[in-house]
């Protein structure tokens, strides 16, 4: 059986999303370009190993905020956001099942390469369902910060991969908020001008 991993890009002061999140700026104003530049354009080849590690999991778990901007009951098809299928369009970057944490039930959504299933009974249930479908492959906690914090609190993350970008945001959604003390062992590190990739194994 694979392990449970978590990848997240954060600022030096620990934020995975900045202030003033909105439909136009889902990670906060100016944050997407700054926190994730290393994954795209001319930088992507230099970070291929880290990008591949993110995108080759056997199943994923994410929070509802990461899936979309709707924070209440799912709207009817003829209402605003009624046809919402995630931030990524018809071809999301996930090529394995994705389990979305939510308080509101919804039928599974199948897109190119993946199916989004919506889990209403918490992080443990979502990870167990992901494990069943992942088989021998890893399960990835895909974010955002709140979902990762829940997974860390629950003690279900085996390997934490932080991608630390040399900037500060000052406010927003912070990793490790309200998480009890953790004992981590550094097992890999690679530092570039754009980002420091630090991989930790969580000691039980």
Q: Is residue 189 part of a domain?
A: yes
pLDDT band at 35 (very low <50, low <70, confident <90, very high): confident
Q: Is residue 67 part of a domain?
A: yes
137 or 29, greater pLDDT: 137
pLDDT 10s digits, 105-148: 999 999 999 999 999 999 999 999 999 999 999 999 998 999 99
Buried b (16+ CB within 10 A) or exposed e, 96-108: bbbbbbbeeebee
pLDDT 10s digits, 62-103: 999 899 887 788 888 888 888 888 888 888 989 999 999 999
Q: Is residue 178 part of a domain?
A: yes
Q: Is residue 45 part of a domain?
A: yes
Task: Give the chain's mean pLDDT.
Answer: 91
Q: The domain spanning residue 186 has which CATH number?
A: 3.40.430.10
CA 59 to CA 132: how far, in whole Å? 9
Buried b (16+ CB within 10 A) or exposed e, 30-53: ebbebbebbbeeeeeeebeebbeb
Range of the structural domain that residue 113 is part of: 4-18+27-74+93-139+146-197
- pTM of the entire predicted model: 0.92
Q: Is residue 175 part of a domain?
A: yes
Q: Is residue 101 part of a domain?
A: yes
Q: Is the pLDDT of residue 31 over 80?
A: no
CA 192 to CA 176: how far, in whole Å? 24
Q: Is residue 157 part of a domain?
A: yes
Q: How many domains does the chain have?
A: 1
């Amino acid at each position: 059986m694979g392990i449970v991993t978590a990848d997240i890009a954060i600022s030096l002061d620990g934020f995975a999303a900045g202030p003033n999140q909105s439909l136009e700026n889902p990670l906060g104003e100016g944050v997407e370009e700054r926190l994730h530049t290393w994954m795209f354009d001319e930088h992507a080849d230099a970070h291929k190993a880290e990008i591949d590690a993110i995108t080759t999991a056997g199943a994923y778990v994410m929070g509802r905020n990461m899936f979309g901007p709707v924070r209440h009951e799912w709207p009817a098809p003829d209402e605003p956001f009624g046809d919402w299928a995630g931030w990524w369009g018809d071809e999301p970057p996930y090529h394995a099942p994705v389990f979305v944490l939510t308080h509101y039930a919804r039928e599974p959504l199948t897109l190119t390469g993946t199916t989004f299933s919506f889990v209403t009974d918490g992080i443990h249930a979502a990870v167990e369902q992901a494990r069943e479908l992942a088989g021998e492959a890893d399960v990835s906690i895909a974010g955002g910060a709140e979902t990762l914090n829940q997974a860390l609190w629950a003690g279900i993350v085996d390997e934490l991969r932080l991608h630390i970008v040399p900037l500060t945001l000052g406010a927003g959604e912070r990793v490790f908020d309200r998480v009890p003390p953790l004992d981590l062992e550094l097992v890999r590190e690679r530092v570039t001008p754009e980002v420091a990739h630090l991989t930790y194994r969580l000691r039980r």
